[in-house]
Structure 1
């Protein structure tokens, strides 16, 4: 969510700008006071002219049940074709229409080189799809007035700090979810690769150099994590439980969790794979 400019005048920005430019042009060519008055009056008249009428947005056309069923009937072939082209070992696919699950199926293997099949309840790691999921959970907390998108994170973050004290006081939940805090690209990820835990990494974001605040975009997993954890703290719970309470449980997602420990102990899970020599290896 980018900063929104506020217009304190009832006059549209484009017309106010045109009036200002017209006056500057009149002064630049040395016109008389009478000419300047005429110019200003002309723009004043323009400002009161009615603006073009914008037609109302049309609602999107609703798919018919037959169209949905036709599309879903083709999915098996679409998925198998994608697997042939990419070599991806396993895929789970779900389709929800009108709040109902109309398609749910697993394809391929949970682990390459085994006979462990992917089913509709197989658990996958979701990588950066965690971003829209996390924003949905936070949006639920915002809707309940637990936090606001424009809340400074420091109001809800125990010991939260960035390198610049001014940025520390002003960076908001929305700033961190928008990757515009000034933190460098993927700040903290290398510490995770070395085995440091979440609390250690968040505590050490204060040592990262900062780009200009709200004038620089850089993708940061742990900047967003800090905003998410701060939201959970404001709700008096953990991020894992907040995610379950606000999203997974209401949707009946009984196998889904924001805890990596839950993924590790799940029997029916797909492992990560890497492409080596043209084939996917677990």
Structure 2
């Protein structure tokens, strides 16, 4: 199993140019594998270890949710409380109060306002638009008319909202009397022995902090971690520490005989409260800082994270006490693919045959190339750009540039859809061991 996983990781790192990947596997409640691939610092040739620290992005949200639930267990708040009870402004959507529960489950009714996206992209120089929100007061000003942007009543629909988790961070500070970062360090990091877990902006000596990179046209460009990200995505951690974190969940709130929260709270956090409509999995839903998926008949609790210069995935199957953590110091390949590939292997499945997105990813790579009609009378180039395939043909007057979306996979056959107002065009690829044929409109083309 491990050799197959290593081969898969190395292949993806090579194709996407990720500088490094770190992974940890938990089986039957024990860490059985920790491994680093590549370099945490390319300029100095420094390797990755299980203690190498990466930005975990939105995996931070489960920590924020856990802190909120600790305050709930102390009787300081209830998930059913209106959030405005603890905020310096009114927070109502379509005349109804937004509850803490709605912020935890991204069901406030307010679609994403993209503050974090603007902050991160502006900070690393990807866009000219810069949103310098570095304090709660600035965020409150930004949110002043957010309720007018609402598209549903609270509790009606899932809209992922980073800003909601920043508000939860403010509530943690107000009720605990200490900074968000200090609360997490004392009440979560320390009892879980997460010695290499910190926050963006902290850089203690002796820590193996991975250098963040942006990959652009094959070049790995060194960047800094974007400042200003807090309760929605500001934690830095390593696979070893995050394994401790997952073990606590798998042990129903307990780590080494220390109760972090009750078993009832863990159950509440890891059950789907709101359905997620745009998932390829059945019965996908969001809990408190976690996403739940039906994974080969098992409940998979998971979350991904990205701050563009660093990415993360953490997931576990409670009933099997099995989990995985994957971290990287760039973006460009979904670490959830690696994580679920590993989990599928652990539970005895063949990910390349039974995980649709792994199978699809392989097909998209395989069909790329130059295709010809009979005796080479016409040539079409099949190019992959992300998850979209393009049929391209150069021409002075009639160039071709048709985007294709994968519709379905059948035995030895992949069927794509092409957008069109007047037609429903399907493009078929027949994939044999030594031959790939494409049927496009009235043409049959063979890959050279």
Task: Tell me the TM-score normalized by structure 1.
Answer: 0.63
The CA deviation at 1:278 is 2.8
Distance 1:278 1:221 in 2: 30
Distance 2:45 2:56 in 1: 23
SS of equivalent residue, structure 1 residue 91: strand
How large is the Cα RMSD of the aligned pairs? 2.8
Distance 2:22 2:209 in 1: 11
Task: Tell me the TM-score normalized by structure 2.
Answer: 0.41
Q: Please tell me whether the aligned partners of residues 92 and 98 of structure 2 are also in contact (alpha carbons under 8 angstroms).
A: no
- Higher-Rg structure is 1
SS of equivalent residue, structure 1 residue 261: coil
Distance 1:98 1:91 in 2: 24
Q: Please tell me whether the aligned partners of residues 152 and 172 of structure 1 are also in contact (alpha carbons under 8 angstroms).
A: yes
Distance 2:14 2:177 in 1: 47
SS of equivalent residue, structure 1 residue 106: strand
Summarize the Cα distance change of 1:72–1:136 in structure 2 as closer, same or farther, 3 Å threshold. farther
SS of equivalent residue, structure 1 residue 224: helix
Specify which of 104, 107, 119 is matched with residue 180 of structure 1. Answer: 107
The CA deviation at 1:125 is 0.6
Residue matched to 2:335:
none
Specify which of 23, 37, 57 is matched with residue 127 of structure 1. Answer: 57
Unaligned runs of at least 5 residues, structure 1:
1-70
Q: Please tell me whether the aligned partners of residues 188 and 201 of structure 1 are also in contact (alpha carbons under 8 angstroms).
A: no
Does 2:135 match 1:198? yes
Residue matched to 2:174:
233
Q: Please tell me whether the aligned partners of residues 162 and 206 of structure 1 are also in contact (alpha carbons under 8 angstroms).
A: no
Residue matched to 1:250:
191
Summarize the Cα distance change of 1:202–1:194 in structure 2 as closer, same or farther, 3 Å threshold. closer
Specify which of 253, 265, 273 is matched with residue 213 of structure 2. Answer: 273
Summarize the Cα distance change of 1:97–1:89 in structure 2 as closer, same or farther, 3 Å threshold. same
Q: Please tell me whether the aligned partners of residues 228 and 239 of structure 1 are also in contact (alpha carbons under 8 angstroms).
A: yes
Q: Give 1:147-226 correspondences, 5 Å limit.
A: 147-157=77-87, 159-162=88-91, 166-167=95-96, 170-189=97-116, 190=118, 193-204=130-141, 205-208=143-146, 209-211=148-150, 212-214=152-154, 215-226=156-167
Distance 1:218 1:266 in 2: 40
- Output one character per residue of 1:149-190: Cα deviation in whole Å (capped at 9) or x when no partner: 112112223x133476944xx211111122222333134333
Distance 1:126 1:79 in 2: 19
Summarize the Cα distance change of 1:152–1:268 in structure 2 as closer, same or farther, 3 Å threshold. same
- Output one character per residue of 1:25-62: Cα deviation in whole Å (capped at 9) or x when no partner: xxxxxxxxxxxxxxxxxxxxxxxxxxxxxxxxxxxxxx
SS of equivalent residue, structure 2 residue 185: helix
Alignment: residue pair count: 208
Distance 2:165 2:29 in 1: 29
Q: Please tell me whether the aligned partners of residues 179 and 217 of structure 1 are also in contact (alpha carbons under 8 angstroms).
A: yes
The CA deviation at 1:133 is 3.0
Distance 1:247 1:161 in 2: 30
Misfit runs of 4+, over 6 Å: none
The CA deviation at 1:77 is 3.5
Q: Is the strand fraction higher in 1 or 2?
A: 2
Q: Please tell me whether the aligned partners of residues 183 and 223 of structure 1 are also in contact (alpha carbons under 8 angstroms).
A: no
Summarize the Cα distance change of 1:85–1:141 in structure 2 as closer, same or farther, 3 Å threshold. farther
The CA deviation at 1:265 is 6.9
